[in-house]
Structure 1
Amino acid sequence: MSSVAVLVELVRRDTSGGQVKCWEHFARSAARLTERLPGGSGGTPLDLTVYFLGERERVEPLSPHVRFVMLRPVLSSAATRSADRAEDVCDLAPYHPRLAALLPRHDVWHLTHGFAFAATAVRLHHRAARRSAPRPRLIGSVHTDVPLLASVYARYLAERWLPGSHPRVEDLLADRAESALRRRRDRLLDPCERVLVPTPEGRAELASVLGPHRVALLRRGVDHELFRPDPTARDWLTRAYGVPGDRPLVLFAGRLDASKGVPLLTESVRLLRARGDALHLVMAGSGAEEDAVRRGLGRDVTLLGPLPQDRLARVYAGCDVFAFPSRTETSGNVVAEAMACGSAVVLPEGAHTTRWLAAPGFDGIVVPADSPVAWADALHPLVERPVVREAVRRRALETSRTVHPSWDRVLEEDLLPVWTQSARTPRRAGFRTA
């Protein structure tokens, strides 16, 4: 039995973002796999521990061989968050002593980020190599374009800490933040025997650095039991949040900041309303653009704040269109979730999120330009022509049911072969923090 440690140095909450949810889904799939294999839990090919950040150290078991472990950060990034506190909290320390004490019990160390957890694992790996001691297998995966996000947040921080600074100063800070974190990412991934990425483009980028034989694809799955059409959701959404019941609802879900294209979407909806189109924008999430959205749209927007997955699923099902202008996603699971609920999705041409579409133009609309006019023109027929909207919604649901894989399938086909191949002598199974 291989013991696998997945290092997700983000805080786990009900309202956490896609990377945290991704590993929650994989862990639950691993727990279900335990039950399906012959011999019950004793027949599983691995013992899985997913490490997150938390306010206190604790263990949350999912099955005898699958668990979440929360560890306190050494140097939390919480102090650098904006006033809306929408950014993810990570650990900026160069070393995490408690994690270092726990890692030796695992055979496989799977890095998913580029801060304290990953730095600690790589340091221990190098230390073992210098001592010619047995080393664990290092695996890496890329879930978020952290360098690109860093450039966006560098601009926000410049506005916050250097008010009135010249745009060139902001550009310089953004470029340097992105370059520094891209170099750091590549340096931490270099000792990994295999690196998993969600897109062919990401595979090509890292293959040029690490070699093509070391980079493979890791798809994302969909929980079709949670995310599905719900004929009662629209009435519930109106009762629960007071959204209008007499016009099409356009939904956005994610951080409300420039990295997700929120200013672009806000302006396109404002333009549609000025043209006389009847629609209402619903936004699930929080972020730096929240006040600007309120000022720009007034009564034409409802801001729900961050939502847990079960409530978000009902919001998807209660809305008609899912508009997602973001170009920073490596995968964009919110798109797959919206399609599974029967939403007509609208996405930017060339974005990684369009890979969820099997027939662009039919099961989702692709916008050719990042301009308010182009987005307004793309949204207009979905808002004003119910026949067009329903046709796209039907095709989206068909694609979701026939093409998008489950988390169980992705675990078994994409992750288990990487974790279990050529495994060295397994360490002991089970887990205790004491």
Structure 2
Amino acid sequence: MVSVPVPVPVSVPASVPASVPVSVPVSVAVLVELVRSGTAGGHVKCWERFAESAARLPGPGSGGAGGAGLDLTVYFLGRRGRERVEPLSPRVRFVMLPPVLSTAALTSSDGAEDISDLAPWHPRLAALLPRHDVWHLTHCFAYAATAVRLARRGAVRPRVVGSVHTDVPALASVYARYLAGRATGGLLGDRGAQWAADRVGTWLRWRRDRLLRSCERVLVPTPEGCEELSRTLGADRMALLRRGIDHERFRPDGTARARLAREYGVPVDRPLVLFAGRLDASKRVPLLAESLRLVRERGRSVHTVMAGLGAEAGAVRRALGEDVTLLGVLPQERLARVYAGCDVLAFPSRTETCGNVVAEAMASGLAVVLPEGARTTRWLGAPGRDGFVVRRDDARGWADALCELVDQPRLLDAVRRRAAATARDAHPSWDRVLAEDLLPVWWGVRHQGPGAA
């Protein structure tokens, strides 16, 4: 069994109000019950970036400000039979714990779905949590259930906070529909599969809200999300947790297009439309594929690039043929180069709580096309100028929007330039979000007195 480092005493960050006691640093456990890998989704990447920012904060005796009073452990799900610690600094580390009841057996053959842990209790995590002052829940399965049960027992008195990163009920509903179809060989039919999917989504929404009721503070990425959850949890518990952007990694690159042709055989003599994410119905990939088929049917010469895996990959290939390049899942460094080599990001998903892919594309100088009313549109500073919003949210409406962009090269170039400018001027870095959104919450709840059971 791997020894997890004990929190290191350090000094208090300047972002904490002067009234907060400064004698004891805050030790935070962030619970991310998903597998960490180079191709993991946005939930995992978000906490990797926050941890990297925390590791850059000044250490003891430096005299610097920001977060020297923080000791951070991010718990990810690991592989069976193996526990592993990866230090980022003396005060920041990743810990990968083996699952108790992994969902790996339920995933499809392409492995596009996130793997979590369905166990009601995780003994190893329960043994480690008491050393931390603040327990930060980010999901609604084994890690969160263990933390809430342990806190309610009253043996330890932690401060419990939570954050919402993914619309888990919506995603699970889509995957339940796929699983129902596979498990029964289609015997349930569309209505039966949808009934099963709706039941799963309803149950998970109830479970998520039940766990969040145990949190003193709940952080969500948008004001709309705050308003939605405040009706269940109370407005006094809600706080905003924005998403950051790595401006060094995601930026325009004039050499990236030629690299796309060289490395992946992508034709570069026509506009390139990118999609990045799971290739399944949760991201509305069938709608996008149909809209791109209509674009081609109207005589426009465009090529589609898709980065990701999922159940709809085969259908996309059949619909678009030679006019699509499927890259599979890419690590962040390679994905950044793919972004910079394309012209348009078409992202019809409505299940995102925030949609980092949109921020990354804008920072890379792409014109983004998004559905009206989606939470991803909050990345836009001036809709219609730094990105397009599709009001007629069907395949024909999406085809109209894409044709408008590719038919007017000067408009496309102008939107791309404005997107990059919005990202540069308005989208915060991960360091800034850590300092302004996370540290005040962690320190604030830590020093409010005894935690609630």
Contact kept, 8 Å, 2:100 with 2:117, in 1: the verdict is: yes
Q: Give the fraction of aligned pairs with identical amino acids, expressed as a percent.
A: 71
Contact kept, 8 Å, 1:284 with 1:307, in 2: the verdict is: yes
- Cα deviation, 1:272-310, whole Å, max 9, x if unaligned, reads 111110100000000000000011111000000000000
Deviation at 1:43, TM superposition (A): 7.3
> Counterpart of 1:305?
328
Structure-1 separation of matches of 2:29 and 2:345: 35
> Counterpart of 1:79?
105
Amino acid of the structure 1 residue aligned with 2:106: T
- Relative distance call for 1:40 and 1:328 in structure 2 (3 A) is same
| RMSD, matched Cα | 1.6
The reply on whether 1:151 has 2:177 as its aligned counterpart is: no
- Given candidates 54, 64, 86, the residue that maps to 1:60 is 86
> Counterpart of 2:243?
220
The reply on whether 1:234 has 2:260 as its aligned counterpart is: no
Deviation at 1:249, TM superposition (A): 0.4
> Counterpart of 1:94?
120
Structure-2 separation of matches of 1:293 and 1:309: 23
- Cα deviation, 1:59-113, whole Å, max 9, x if unaligned, reads 1111110011111111100000012110000001111001011101100000000
TM score, norm. by length of structure 1: 0.95
The reply on whether 1:176 has 2:199 as its aligned counterpart is: yes
Deviation at 1:41, TM superposition (A): 11
Contact kept, 8 Å, 2:150 with 2:156, in 1: the verdict is: no
Structure-2 separation of matches of 1:91 and 1:150: 14
The reply on whether 1:160 has 2:182 as its aligned counterpart is: yes
Contact kept, 8 Å, 1:27 with 1:48, in 2: the verdict is: yes
- Given candidates 345, 355, 373, the residue that maps to 2:396 is 373
SS in 2 for 1:237: helix
> Counterpart of 2:303?
280
Amino acid of the structure 2 residue aligned with 1:155: R
- Cα deviation, 1:312-343, whole Å, max 9, x if unaligned, reads 00000000001000000000000000000000
SS in 2 for 1:15: coil
Deviation at 1:142, TM superposition (A): 0.4
> Counterpart of 2:160?
138
- Cα deviation, 1:250-288, whole Å, max 9, x if unaligned, reads 000000001101011101111111111010000000000
Contact kept, 8 Å, 1:256 with 1:286, in 2: the verdict is: yes
- Relative distance call for 1:189 and 1:42 in structure 2 (3 A) is closer
Contact kept, 8 Å, 2:67 with 2:439, in 1: the verdict is: no
> Counterpart of 1:114?
140
- Given candidates 346, 366, 376, the residue that maps to 1:343 is 366
> Counterpart of 1:25?
49
Structure-1 separation of matches of 2:312 and 2:61: 48
The reply on whether 1:8 has 2:32 as its aligned counterpart is: yes
The reply on whether 1:353 has 2:376 as its aligned counterpart is: yes
Deviation at 1:35, TM superposition (A): 5.2
Deviation at 1:124, TM superposition (A): 0.3
SS in 1 for 2:76: strand
Structure-2 separation of matches of 1:296 and 1:176: 31
Contact kept, 8 Å, 1:35 with 1:41, in 2: the verdict is: no
The reply on whether 1:46 has 2:64 as its aligned counterpart is: no
Deviation at 1:374, TM superposition (A): 0.4
- Cα deviation, 1:358-396, whole Å, max 9, x if unaligned, reads 000000000012211100100012212210100100110
TM score, norm. by length of structure 2: 0.91
SS in 2 for 1:304: strand
- Cα deviation, 1:44-72, whole Å, max 9, x if unaligned, reads 11100000011221111111100111111
- Relative distance call for 1:90 and 1:247 in structure 2 (3 A) is same
> Counterpart of 1:430?
none
> Counterpart of 1:268?
291
Contact kept, 8 Å, 1:357 with 1:363, in 2: the verdict is: yes
Structure-1 separation of matches of 2:93 and 2:63: 20
Pairing 1:184-223 to 2, within 5 Å after superposition = 184-223=207-246
SS in 2 for 1:67: strand
Deviation at 1:423, TM superposition (A): 1.9
Contact kept, 8 Å, 1:41 with 1:65, in 2: the verdict is: no
Contact kept, 8 Å, 2:245 with 2:428, in 1: the verdict is: yes
Amino acid of the structure 2 residue aligned with 1:261: R
SS in 2 for 1:69: strand
Structure-1 separation of matches of 2:297 and 2:238: 48
Aligned length: 422
> Counterpart of 1:431?
none
Structure-2 separation of matches of 1:155 and 1:275: 33
Structure-1 separation of matches of 2:61 and 2:386: 36
Deviation at 1:171, TM superposition (A): 2.2
Contact kept, 8 Å, 1:363 with 1:399, in 2: the verdict is: yes
SS in 2 for 1:240: helix
> Counterpart of 1:104?
130
Contact kept, 8 Å, 2:39 with 2:330, in 1: the verdict is: yes
Deviation at 1:425, TM superposition (A): 10
Deviation at 1:210, TM superposition (A): 1.1
SS in 2 for 1:221: coil
> Counterpart of 2:15?
none
Contact kept, 8 Å, 2:361 with 2:368, in 1: the verdict is: yes
SS in 2 for 1:201: helix
Structure-1 separation of matches of 2:157 and 2:265: 57
SS in 2 for 1:21: helix
- Given candidates 320, 324, 342, the residue that maps to 1:319 is 342
- Given candidates 392, 396, 405, the residue that maps to 2:419 is 396
Contact kept, 8 Å, 1:278 with 1:384, in 2: the verdict is: no
SS in 2 for 1:358: coil
Structure-2 separation of matches of 1:138 and 1:27: 19
